[in-house]
């Protein structure tokens, strides 16, 4: 890792201009996001007046008790949990296969797994919609889950594969030489080794699913996940204060686990957060 004291000859301290630019961009990325918190406490109910005319805590209990919000939240959590579980299994299997052997089409696997995220979300969405319509499958909780699981796989896959590549295969050989069978080796050597990668992958997959809107628009019928509910409120605001509090809640639900995921994989370069 480069440090400020690196043995560079001249001009190797960040210029004032570069530092200012870096700080400005971090602020640009963060101020809008945290502004939501301010608006959760405003007394203004009809507009988005800045600065807020006054502050109150009364919206928080009201938002939490809102039945529509509760229903959407519960749906989102259930969808995210199931998609994450499916993504964990499929992603780990794919990563193990790609790591342990060479086979024809190995490159194509990684490419195929990343495709649902690399292609515009609307492509994945309308593709699934057309499949659902062509086969006359009814929309349900499960059509949402299947869609989400598909684009979550790559996150787990990337994390686990990166961890496999960093850990040495000799441990596994040693375990087998010492008489452990494949299952014991998996349980006692492989699993502890990839444990944090799995956890980090799961957290990222969860937040990916939790705030997805584009694919969900096409795979959900009448059901509203939390992001879709918020979106509806943006087009036709009915109760701004409750939407503001819900938005804050979503930030907290996704941000805190992500900070935790980064922490448990800290020091290693296998978070692969960039390939969302």
Partner 1 sequence: MLNRISTYLYLRPKLVLALLLLPPLIWFLVVYIGSLITLLINSFFSLDSFTGQIVREFTLKTYAKLFDKANLEIFGRTTLMAAVVTIACALLAFPLSYYMARFASPRVKTFLYLAVTLPLWSSYVVRVYSWKLILAQEGIVSWFANLTQLDGILAWYLKLPVVGGSSLAISYTGVFLVFVYIWLPYMIIPIQTALERVPKSLIEASGDLGAKPPQTFWNVILPLAFPGVIAGSIFTFSLTLGDFIVPQLFGKSAYTIGRAVLTFQGTSNNIPLAAAFTMGPILIMMVYLLIARRLGAFDAL
User: Among residue numbers 109 through 168, which ones bind partner 1 (CB under 8 A)?
Assistant: 109, 112-113, 115-116, 118-124, 126-131, 133-135, 146, 149-150, 153
Compose the 8-27 pattern: x for residues touching partner 1 by CB under 8 A, - for all others. Answer: xxxxxxx---xx-xx--xx-
Q: Which of 79, 159, 189, 211 binds partner 1 (CB under 8 A)?
A: 211
Compose the 79-108 pattern: x for residues touching partner 1 by CB under 8 A, - for all others. Answer: ----------xxx-xx-xx--xx-x-----
78-111 per-residue burial string, b: 16 or more CB within 10 A, e: under 16: ebbebbbbbbbebbbebbbebeeeeeeeeeeebe
Choices 57-65, 77-85, 162-170, 200-208 (CB under 8 A): range interacting with partner 1: 200-208
Nearest-angstrom CA–CA distance, 109 and 122: 22
Nearest-angstrom CA–CA distance, 19 and 34: 22
Alpha-carbon Rg for the chain, nearest whole angstrom, is 23
Contact status: 247 vs partner 1 (CB under 8 A): yes
Choices 31-39, 67-75, 160-168, 191-199 (CB under 8 A): range interacting with partner 1: 31-39
Nearest approach in angstroms of CB 110 to partner 1 is 9
Compose the 39-58 pattern: x for residues touching partner 1 by CB under 8 A, - for all others. Answer: x-------xxxxx-------
Instruction: Tell me whether residue 195 or residue 237 sits nearer to partner 1 (CB atom).
Output: 237
Instruction: Tell me whether residue 57 or residue 235 sits nearer to partner 1 (CB atom).
Output: 235
Nearest approach in angstroms of CB 70 to partner 1 is 18
Nearest approach in angstroms of CB 238 to partner 1 is 14
DSSP-assigned letter for residue 42: B
- What pairs with residue 55 in β-bridges? 42
Contact status: 271 vs partner 1 (CB under 8 A): yes
118-130 per-residue burial string, b: 16 or more CB within 10 A, e: under 16: eeebeebbeebbe
Is the separation of the CB atoms in 143 and 219 below 8 Å? yes
Pick the closest to residue 246 from 56, 50, 44, 67 (CA basis): 67
CA 250 to each of CA 1, 67, 212: distance values in angstroms, whole numbers, following the listed order:
34, 16, 12
């Amino acid at each position: 890792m480069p440090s400020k004291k690196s043995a560079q000859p001249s001009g190797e301290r960040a210029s004032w201009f570069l530092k200012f630019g870096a700080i400005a961009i971090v602020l640009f990325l963060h101020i809008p996001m945290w502004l939501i918190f301010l608006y959760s406490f405003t007394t203004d109910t009809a507009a988005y007046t800045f600065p807020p005319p006054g502050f109150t805590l009364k919206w928080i209990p009201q938002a939490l008790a809102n039945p529509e919000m509760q229903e959407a939240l519960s749906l989102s959590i259930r969808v995210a949990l199931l998609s994450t579980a499916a993504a964990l299994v499929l992603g780990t299997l794919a990563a193990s296969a790609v790591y342990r052997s060479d086979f024809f089409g190995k490159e194509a696997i990684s490419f195929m797994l990343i495709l649902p995220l690399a292609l515009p979300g609307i492509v994945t969405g309308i593709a699934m919609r057309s499949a659902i319509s062509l086969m006359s499958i009814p929309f349900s909780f499960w059509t949402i889950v299947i869609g989400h699981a598909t684009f979550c796989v790559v996150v787990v896959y990337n994390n686990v594969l990166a961890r496999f590549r960093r850990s040495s295969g000799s441990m596994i050989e040693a375990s087998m030489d010492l008489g452990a069978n494949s299952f014991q080796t998996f349980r006692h050597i492989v699993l502890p080794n990839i444990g944090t990668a799995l956890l980090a992958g799961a957290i990222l997959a969860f937040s990916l699913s939790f705030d997805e809107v584009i694919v969900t628009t096409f795979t959900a019928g009448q059901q509203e996940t939390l992001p879709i509910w918020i979106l509806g409120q943006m087009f036709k605001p009915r109760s701004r204060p409750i939407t503001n509090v819900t938005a804050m809640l979503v930030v907290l639900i996704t941000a805190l686990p992500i900070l935790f995921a980064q922490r448990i994989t800290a020091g290693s370069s296998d978070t692969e957060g960039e390939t969302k």
